[in-house]
Structure 1
Amino acid sequence: MNIHVCSDLSVSNLSILSREGSIVSGVSFDLGRGRPLTLLGESGSGKSLVAQAIMGNLPLELHATGSVIFEGLDLLGETPPERRRRWGRSICLLPQEPWLALDPTMRVAPQVAEIHHYVKGKTAAESVEAAMDNLSEVSLASAAALYPFQMSGGMGQRVAIAMAHAANAELLIADEPTKGLDAALKDSVTARLRQEVEMGRLLFTITHDVGVARALEGMIGVMLDGRLVEYGPAHKLLEAPEHGYTKALLAAEPSHWEQRAPTPSGEPVIVGRGLEKRYGDKVLFSGLDIEIAAGEIVSIFGPSGCGKTTVGNILLGLVAPDAGTVERTRELSFLRFQKLYQDPPAAFAPHQTIRKGLRDLVRLHGKDWATVDSLCRRLRLPDALLDRLPSQISGGELQRFALLRALLLDPAFLFADEATSRLDPVSQKDVITFLQEIVAETGLAVLLVTHDRDVALKVSTRTLGLRE
């Protein structure tokens, strides 16, 4: 692992500690111009904490040791105000959860324009023009007047990418930049990141998508349990991995999965006939028929913003269709129709520990805590995570807790909206396998929304493709 290049960012022996001990240990790497670095690894392995340490926005209960040399200075030795003055200027972060990064009270274009006006010092008119250029680059010029809550998760991700590009910083840290994007947009964003490298910027990317790491080239580091277990040139590491976890990570890409489509075990649980939904003059879909029976998984795939989430919300009664009807099995309680949200932070109380939220749910619905323990084991969720706040665990871990919480209510129908978009290939395969086991054991009916055609084809009884 002793690979050295001429670099503008040098991380040496970086460790991140809490009161309980070390979370990240002894991470070292160099990042040079024209040679981006991508970190791969499972959810909770410490990838995002490394980025937060570089940025200087670690949670208050954590602190970093070692050194982070950037532009000749050790960032870990700077004061919080000095670190903050770098944000959006010399260092820019593309966050993992754009839902948390965007202002819900502002339309999209003004949010991007603010960066040009307040950070870059442009006039108001110049800022608006530049913002529209940034949005056009990510195919969102038509969404300029929308609020964040009016957009899909993938569209929100693209807005965050436009904002990161507007900052034009020396160092760009991209945390899961393609999460929730369809294949075409993923390729477009990856190409955009490559352009940043070609323009001379430093690029540090965190992803669970092996395809993105392969496309970005440069250097790759693989993290496991807070340690950098493998580090080297992308072509060498991906073609001849040495560590067992790296080999498992590459073998777990969805294209390599075995075909395992469940067989329906009962009557339809939920049926939609002739569904139509419009937003203004735009027709998302029309004349759509869909039904999901007990014991089957039906997948919807398609590009960001095509209406996949809207179909599921209509079936659950969260959104009214403009035409068509929905029928649900009458004897089933509404509590047995559950949703797994695309952005898990939106579904958890931010100031309540995971354990407190689950205990309240268990008490309210007369469940047994032993079921929580059993689901934690099956979802590989350590007991220590239960006493943390949602902001103190990774997005992938939070998504698994969201699945656990939904399954506690013994659902007959589960709308899983991008259920695995935040998971690395190994965890993704584990969670999908677990979901398949639950479907087989209980007869659960699942509507799975995904941008990944391989996932849809490998696990589904039937698939439904939507187009823009």
Structure 2
Amino acid sequence: MSLIEVEDLRVTFPKAGVEAVRGVSLSIAEGECVAIVGESGSGKSVTARTLVGLTGQGATVTASRFDVRGRDARRFGPRDWRRLRGRFAGLVLQDALVSLDPLRTVGAEIAEVLAAHDVVPRAGRTEKVLELLDAVGVPEPELRAAQYPHQLSGGLRQRALIASAIAADPPLLIADEPTTALDVTVQAQILRLLAARRAEGTALLMISHDLAVVSSIADRVLVMKDGVVVEEGPTNRVLSAPERDYTRLLLAAVPSAASRGTRLSAIATGGVSLRAPLPERRIDHGSPVVEARGLTAEYGRRRVVDDVSFEVHPGETVGIVGESGSGKTTVARLVMGLMKPVAGQVWLDGSPWSGLPERERRPRRSVIQVISQNPLDSFDPRYTVGRLVAEPLGGPWKSRAARVAELLERVGLPADLAGRHPRGLSGGQRQRVAIARALAPRPRVLVCDEPVSALDVSVQAQVLDLLGEIQAADGTALIFISHDLGVVHHISDRVVVMREGRVVEDGHVDEVFFLPKHEYTKELLGAVPKLATTL
């Protein structure tokens, strides 16, 4: 029996003048997993939210057919939708910290669903909450139920959100980018959990830009672009032998060992996707531009980085990987000189860097710059794009304005974007602004801390290609931190694997990823979803 049958679904936001979904038809059967993939702005999330009446204020929704378990949803009012959510469909979103109420404990959050749908009597709710947390693999459920969302790790928060979504035992789960911000081992745990729900008969609608995740769990896949489904069919067929150029381009944009040295932004022609080579990049194996020796750092009494050493040469990319909490970002802060090590030292261009007074480091700050995961958090919201990019520059404004236009053009943005504010830009545009700002003082080293993890696969491809071009032209060194091992394998020359603050393995990226020696590295690589494709 079909849980949902939709034909010719159209969703319009009249005030914005946007038709976000245009003529989508979709069915979901009991126990089936259907995935929707596509770029940001393709209409994936709007489609999913419309299925549970959460399209948004001011939206106009039409369809020639819109049946939810045999009932005509076109006749539903707000009360009908409220009864449906939780009981018929549970919703799991990407950012559990935003989805969970920060003022309530995890247990209270889950108990609300039990109360709203009268799942169990009041006296049995505490026991049911603990049972649900245990079912989704949360350790020490009694302790976790009494904690607030900010007290849990990302993986535990996501599990708590899933517990809330399944509390009323709905026949359908809608998972909108549920694993995007998670490291590979936690991602694997969440995917196993979702697969277990499917095995028990729950249907799943998965929204994701991670095609490997989709290939590991979905029965059927719909590929969306500009609000339209451009291709659909069994997952194995669509992702291994796509019929449409757009699908081929999405698949060609997935970074991996096979894509090393080539542009991820391919050209689809004649039924194949052609990848052009990146500009030749030379590594100067003489003196390192960054040398870290015996770095050790503590937060309070807890040691978070323990005796970490590595070096980076001009033109080289060194990837740093590991689970959340492994110490990757702390290493980046130590290298940037934003944190003082309790032991060890960083040398920058052969001179001591860490542990110096900031007044001695400040004249050399231009040598090393950072690109963060979420540039919007690091931008002053009052500043225009032009002012953000110009801020690291010195000299009169006229000369800075010319340099800003040059930098924006270099990262593929029009010069007239300088007058806009970052909140009005897309995620890909904001990341390009962040790169332009980092390039402004002509650094020799870029520290990239999860710079593409929040981007869809095609925008990610553009940003990675841009970094490759910058390295080839300027000989810039990259320290590239990511939980996406495919991205790291694509872009890195060498890789450092961290666990619980220590380096457990390092070496050439092919040697470490193809012939790992440490059990933890093997565990990380084993948790990565595999995408089988002929492209």
TM-score bracket, normalised by the shorter chain, equals 0.7 to 0.9
Question: 1:205 offset after TM fit, Å?
Answer: 0.5
Question: 1:127 offset after TM fit, Å?
Answer: 6.1
- Aligned positions of 1:374-385 closer than 5 A: 374=409, 377=412
Residues 1:187 and 2:188 aligned together: yes
Aligned residues: 452
**Contact 1:262 1:459 survives alignment (8 Å):** no
**Contact 1:396 1:422 survives alignment (8 Å):** no
For residues 176 and 382 of structure 1, the distance between their equivalents in structure 2, rounded to whole angstroms, comes to: 33
**Contact 2:294 2:344 survives alignment (8 Å):** yes
Equivalent in the alignment of 1:118: 112
Q: Secondary structure at the match of 2:293?
A: strand
Residues 1:451 and 2:483 aligned together: yes
Residues 1:370 and 2:405 aligned together: yes
For residues 399 and 348 of structure 1, the distance between their equivalents in structure 2, rounded to whole angstroms, comes to: 11
Question: 1:242 offset after TM fit, Å?
Answer: 0.6
Q: Which letter maps to 1:340? A: I
For residues 400 and 451 of structure 1, the distance between their equivalents in structure 2, rounded to whole angstroms, comes to: 21
Residues 1:12 and 2:7 aligned together: yes
The counterpart of 2:334, out of the listed 314, 320, 324, is 314
The counterpart of 1:51, out of the listed 33, 48, 53, is 48
Equivalent in the alignment of 1:42: 39
For residues 174 and 216 of structure 2, the distance between their equivalents in structure 1, rounded to whole angstroms, comes to: 17
**Contact 2:408 2:436 survives alignment (8 Å):** no
Question: 1:302 offset after TM fit, Å?
Answer: 1.7
Q: Secondary structure at the match of 2:2?
A: coil
CA distances 1:364-397 after superposition (whole Å, capped 9, x unpaired): 555435246525636x9997xx67846x95x566
Instruction: Tell me: CA distance 1:382–1:95, structure 2 relative to 1, closer, same or farther (3 Å).
Output: farther
The counterpart of 1:98, out of the listed 77, 96, 120, is 96
- Aligned positions of 1:252-267 closer than 5 A: 252-255=253-256, 257-260=258-261, 262-265=281-284
- Aligned positions of 1:302-381 closer than 5 A: 302-328=322-348, 330=361, 332-334=363-365, 337-343=368-374, 346-347=377-378, 357-362=384-389, 364=391, 366=397, 367-368=400-401, 369-371=404-406, 373-374=408-409, 377=412
Instruction: Tell me: CA distance 1:331–1:388, structure 2 relative to 1, closer, same or farther (3 Å).
Output: closer
For residues 346 and 134 of structure 1, the distance between their equivalents in structure 2, rounded to whole angstroms, comes to: 35
Instruction: Tell me: CA distance 1:128–1:162, structure 2 relative to 1, closer, same or farther (3 Å).
Output: closer
Q: Which letter maps to 1:361? A: L
For residues 189 and 493 of structure 2, the distance between their equivalents in structure 1, rounded to whole angstroms, comes to: 30
- Aligned positions of 1:100-249 closer than 5 A: 100-103=98-101, 110-111=105-106, 113-121=107-115, 125-126=126-127, 129-130=130-131, 132-133=133-134, 136-137=137-138, 157=158, 160-161=161-162, 163-166=164-167, 168-249=169-250
Mark the runs of 5 or more structure 1 residues left unpaired by the alignment: 1-5
Instruction: Tell me: CA distance 1:233–1:151, structure 2 relative to 1, closer, same or farther (3 Å).
Output: same
**Contact 2:30 2:171 survives alignment (8 Å):** no
**Contact 2:220 2:235 survives alignment (8 Å):** yes
- Tell which has more relative contact order, 1 or 2 (C-alpha 8 A, sep 6+): 1
Question: 1:463 offset after TM fit, Å?
Answer: 0.9
- Aligned positions of 1:12-91 closer than 5 A: 12-18=7-13, 19-60=16-57, 62-66=59-63, 68-75=66-73, 78-80=76-78, 82-84=80-82, 86-91=84-89
Identity between Structure 1 and Structure 2 (%): 34
Instruction: Tell me: CA distance 1:400–1:8, structure 2 relative to 1, closer, same or farther (3 Å).
Output: farther
CA distances 1:216-235 after superposition (whole Å, capped 9, x unpaired): 13110111222210011112
Q: Which letter maps to 1:47? A: K
Question: 1:257 offset after TM fit, Å?
Answer: 3.3
For residues 310 and 117 of structure 1, the distance between their equivalents in structure 2, rounded to whole angstroms, comes to: 37
For residues 75 and 411 of structure 2, the distance between their equivalents in structure 1, rounded to whole angstroms, comes to: 39
For residues 364 and 47 of structure 1, the distance between their equivalents in structure 2, rounded to whole angstroms, comes to: 37
Q: Which range is displaced more, 226-235 or 194-203?
A: 194-203
CA distances 1:105-137 after superposition (whole Å, capped 9, x unpaired): 66xxx22x1233222135574366346526634
Instruction: Tell me: CA distance 1:216–1:176, structure 2 relative to 1, closer, same or farther (3 Å).
Output: same
For residues 216 and 231 of structure 1, the distance between their equivalents in structure 2, rounded to whole angstroms, comes to: 16
CA distances 1:44-92 after superposition (whole Å, capped 9, x unpaired): 3222222233344445465433364323445565445654554444333
For residues 440 and 159 of structure 2, the distance between their equivalents in structure 1, rounded to whole angstroms, comes to: 34
For residues 409 and 78 of structure 1, the distance between their equivalents in structure 2, rounded to whole angstroms, comes to: 57
**Contact 1:42 1:424 survives alignment (8 Å):** yes
**Contact 1:92 1:172 survives alignment (8 Å):** yes
The counterpart of 1:414, out of the listed 431, 446, 451, is 446
Mark the runs of 5 or more structure 2 residues left unpaired by the alignment: 116-121, 262-279, 354-360, 501-535
For residues 95 and 415 of structure 2, the distance between their equivalents in structure 1, rounded to whole angstroms, comes to: 21
Q: Which range is displaced more, 29-38 or 254-263?
A: 254-263
The counterpart of 2:308, out of the listed 277, 285, 288, is 288
For residues 397 and 188 of structure 1, the distance between their equivalents in structure 2, rounded to whole angstroms, comes to: 32
TM-score by length of 2: 0.71
**Contact 2:405 2:415 survives alignment (8 Å):** no
Instruction: Tell me: CA distance 1:372–1:89, structure 2 relative to 1, closer, same or farther (3 Å).
Output: farther
For residues 401 and 84 of structure 1, the distance between their equivalents in structure 2, rounded to whole angstroms, comes to: 41
For residues 50 and 422 of structure 2, the distance between their equivalents in structure 1, rounded to whole angstroms, comes to: 19
Equivalent in the alignment of 2:455: 423
For residues 247 and 215 of structure 1, the distance between their equivalents in structure 2, rounded to whole angstroms, comes to: 18
CA RMSD of aligned residues (A): 4.0
TM-score by length of 1: 0.80
Q: Which letter maps to 1:413? A: V
**Contact 2:385 2:433 survives alignment (8 Å):** no
